Amino acid sequence: MSPGSFEHLAAPLWLLFAGRDLIMGKAIELLRQIDSKGSLSKAAEAVPMSYKSAWDLIYRINNISAHPVVVTTTGGRHGGGTQLSEYGKSLLVLYSSLERSYEKAFSAFEDVKPDTEHFFKLVKGLCMKTSARNQLAGIVKKVIRGMINSEIVVDIGDNVDIVALITNESCDDLSLVPGKEAIVLVKAPAVILFPGIAPVKCSAENMLAGKVIEVRMGNVNGEVIIELPGGKILTSVITMESGKSLGLREGEPVWAGFSAQQVILALPM
C-alpha cells in the first residue's frame, strides 16, 4: 500500500482506506495498556472493555500478524502476565511515530521505522469483516489443479499447513499462485476436536495439533480455544454434551480437524 492510497487521515490517528476502517482506536489502546500494565485484566479495565472481548481482539491481532504481537509469560492465561512481544512493541513505536508526524507530508512515512509494510498488512487484516470466527493469515504454498476443483495448501507459519478445496473458477478469480498472501477462514462449528497427543485417523484433510488454553461452556454449547504452534489461535464451537464427553481441560493436547471444503480463502485488501 502506498501512502497516497489513503482516503482520509484525521486526529486522533484513524486510518481509512476506501472509506473503511483499517484500525480501531481500541486495538491500539489495548496494546498500549498491556505494555503499560503487564496485565490483560487491568488493561481491559482501563480501555474499557470486557476481559473476554480483550482476549478475542488479541487472538484476532495475533492470527493476522506475521509474528505474535501479544504473549503470555509463565503461568498461563490465569496465573501469569500478559505483555507485548518485541514485534508488538515495534508496532506501537511505529503508530506513535505516525501520530506525531501524520500532519506532515505523506513522504514522511519513508522515515518511519520499523517497516511500514508489515504494519499495514496487520491493520488491513483487522478491517476485514466476516462471520467466520477463525481468520488465519498465511502464504499459498501449493496449488494442485484438478478437472473441476483446485486444492490449495496455505502455510500459516511454524510448519502448519491448511488445505482448502475450491473451484477452479474461484482459484482463477483470486489469482492464487504459490507465494501469494491469503487469509484462511474457517467457521468455528466446523472444527472437530480430538483430545490426546497421538494423531487421529480421520477423513478431514486438516488435522492440526495444539493445546487447549480455554474452555467457555454455556447452557447449550460452548467455545474451546486452541493454541497452535507459533501462537496462532483456533476456536471450536461444541455442544454441552460433546464438552462433557470429551472432558477437555486447559493445558491438555488436542487435535483440531476440519474438511478442506469448509475452508474459505480470502485475499488481504
CATH number (domain holding residue 112): 1.10.10.10
Q: What is the CATH number of the domain that holds 160?
A: 2.40.50.100
Q: Residue 28: pLDDT band by 50, 70, 90 thresholds?
A: confident
Name the range with the highest mean pLDDT among 9-18, 87-96, 236-245. 236-245
Q: Is the pLDDT of residue 2 over 60?
A: no
Please tell me the predicted confidence (pLDDT) of residue 7. 44
Contacts of 186 (CB under 8 A, 6+ apart): 132, 133, 134, 136, 162, 234, 258, 262, 263, 264
Q: Is the pLDDT of residue 220 over 70?
A: yes
Please tell me the predicted confidence (pLDDT) of residue 225. 94
Q: Which domain holds residue 169?
A: 134-185+262-266
Among 13-27, 31-45, 167-181, where is mean pLDDT lowest? 13-27
Residue after which a domain boundary falls, among 108, 126, 144: 126
Please tell me the predicted confidence (pLDDT) of residue 197. 86
Please tell me the predicted confidence (pLDDT) of residue 10. 42
Domains held by the chain: number: 3
Please tell me the predicted confidence (pLDDT) of residue 73. 74
Among 25-29, 34-38, 125-129, where is mean pLDDT lowest? 125-129
Mean pLDDT of the 91-115 span: 62
Q: Residue 142: pLDDT band by 50, 70, 90 thresholds?
A: very high
Q: In terms of domains, do 181 and 192 share one?
A: no
Q: In terms of domains, do 250 and 224 share one?
A: yes
Please tell me the predicted confidence (pLDDT) of residue 201. 82
Q: In terms of domains, do 40 and 113 share one?
A: yes
Q: Note whether 235 and 168 are within 8 A (CB).
A: no
CA distance 191 to 210: 13
Q: In terms of domains, do 176 and 206 share one?
A: no
Beta bridge partners of 42: none
Q: Note whether 126 and 24 are within 8 A (CB).
A: yes
pTM of the model: 0.66
Residue after which a domain boundary falls, among 80, 95, 126: 126
Degrees, nearest 5: CA angle 224-230-236: 15
Residue after which a domain boundary falls, among 126, 142, 170: 126
Please tell me the predicted confidence (pLDDT) of residue 57. 87
Q: Is the pLDDT of residue 207 over 80?
A: yes
CA distances from 43 to 60, 90, 99 (A): 17, 19, 21
Q: In terms of domains, do 179 and 193 share one?
A: no
Q: Is the pLDDT of residue 118 over 90?
A: no
Q: In terms of domains, do 65 and 119 share one?
A: yes
5's grid cell: 492510497
Q: Is the pLDDT of residue 18 over 80?
A: no
Q: In terms of domains, do 113 and 67 share one?
A: yes
Q: In terms of domains, do 121 and 8 share one?
A: yes
Please tell me the predicted confidence (pLDDT) of residue 106. 43
Selection from 51, 46, 83, 48 nearest residue 68 by Cα: 83
Mean pLDDT of the 5-25 span: 45
Q: In terms of domains, do 97 and 14 share one?
A: yes
Average pLDDT over the chain, rounded to whole?
Answer: 81
Q: In terms of domains, do 42 and 150 share one?
A: no
Q: In terms of domains, do 10 and 122 share one?
A: yes
Please tell me the predicted confidence (pLDDT) of residue 75. 58
Q: In terms of domains, do 245 and 223 share one?
A: yes
Q: Is the pLDDT of residue 170 over 90?
A: yes
